[in-house]
Chain A
Amino acid sequence: MANLVAVLATTHHPFFYRASTAPPESRPDFADEWVRKVLSYRETLTLANPDVLVMVGSDHFHQLWYDNMPQFLIGKAPYYDGNYYNEEREFGLPRMRLKGHEELSAYLLRQGLDAGFDFAFSNELRVDHSITCPIITTRPQADLPIVPVYTNIFAPPLPQPPRYVALGRLLRELVTSWPRSERVAIIGTGHLSLELGGPRQFGPHGPDPDFDRRAVEWIANGNIEGALAGVTLDSLWEPGNATHGFLDFMLMMGAAGGVKADYADTLDLFHTMEAYFTWYPKGQNA
Chain B
Amino acid sequence: MSKYLLNKFLFTVDRDPDLVERYRADPRGTVTWWEAERANVVLNLPQIERSTWLKFTDVEREALATHDYVKLFELGAHPFLTLTLCIALFERDYAEPLGFQREYAARLKHWSLPYPDITT
**A interface residues (Cβ-Cβ under 8 A, vs B):** 28, 60-62, 65-68, 84-86, 89-90, 154-157, 196-203, 237-238, 241-242, 270
- B94 at the binding interface (Cβ < 8 Å): no
Contacting pair A241 B115 (CB below 8 A): yes
Contacting pair B83 A85 (CB below 8 A): no
- B59 at the binding interface (Cβ < 8 Å): no
- How long is the Cα–Cα vector from A154 to B73 in the complex, in angstroms? 16
Residues of B within 8 A of A28 (CB): 97
Contacting pair B105 A66 (CB below 8 A): no
Over the window 82-120 of chain B, the binary record of Cβ atoms lying under 8 Å from chain A Cβ atoms (1 yes, 0 no) is: 111001100000000110011011101111111100111
- How long is the Cα–Cα vector from A157 to B115 in the complex, in angstroms? 16
**B interface residues (Cβ-Cβ under 8 A, vs A):** 4, 7-8, 11, 14-15, 17, 42-44, 73, 78-84, 87-88, 97-98, 101-102, 104-106, 108-115, 118-120
In angstroms, how far is the closest chain B Cβ from the Cβ of A67?
Answer: 6
Contacting pair A202 B105 (CB below 8 A): yes
* Closest residue on chain B to residue A203 by CB atoms: B105
- How long is the Cα–Cα vector from A3 to B108 in the complex, in angstroms? 49
Residues of A within 8 A of B8 (CB): 66
Partner of B43, one of A65, A89, A200: A65
Contacting pair B79 A198 (CB below 8 A): yes
- How long is the Cα–Cα vector from A197 to B4 in the complex, in angstroms? 17
In angstroms, how far is the closest chain B Cβ from the Cβ of A201?
Answer: 5
Contacting pair A199 B17 (CB below 8 A): no
Contacting pair B108 A66 (CB below 8 A): no
Contacting pair B98 A197 (CB below 8 A): no
* Closest residue on chain B to residue A62 by CB atoms: B15
Given contacts A61-B11, A66-B4, A66-B8, contact A201 B80 (CB under 8 A): no
In angstroms, how far is the closest chain B Cβ from the Cβ of A264?
Answer: 28
Partner of A238, one of B78, B98, B113: B113
Contacting pair B73 A197 (CB below 8 A): yes
Q: How many A-B residue pairs have CB under 8 A?
A: 80
Contacting pair B79 A90 (CB below 8 A): no
Contacting pair A197 B80 (CB below 8 A): yes
Contacting pair B101 A241 (CB below 8 A): no
Contacting pair A198 B115 (CB below 8 A): yes
Contacting pair A196 B43 (CB below 8 A): no
Residues of A within 8 A of B42 (CB): 67
* 22 A-B pairs in the complex with CB atoms less than 8 angstroms apart: A28-B97, A65-B43, A66-B7, A66-B8, A90-B88, A155-B78, A156-B119, A157-B119, A196-B83, A197-B78, A197-B80, A198-B111, A199-B106, A199-B108, A201-B83, A201-B104, A202-B98, A202-B102, A237-B113, A237-B114, A238-B113, A241-B79
- How long is the Cα–Cα vector from A230 to B80 in the complex, in angstroms? 25
- How long is the Cα–Cα vector from A65 to B4 in the complex, in angstroms? 10
Residues of A within 8 A of B73 (CB): 197-198
Given contacts A156-B118, A237-B115, A241-B79, contact A202 B101 (CB under 8 A): yes
In angstroms, how far is the closest chain B Cβ from the Cβ of A108?
Answer: 25
* Closest residue on chain B to residue A201 by CB atoms: B105
- How long is the Cα–Cα vector from A201 to B115 in the complex, in angstroms? 13
- How long is the Cα–Cα vector from A202 to B86 in the complex, in angstroms? 15
- How long is the Cα–Cα vector from A28 to B115 in the complex, in angstroms? 33
Residues of A within 8 A of B17 (CB): 85, 89
In angstroms, how far is the closest chain B Cβ from the Cβ of A159?
Answer: 14
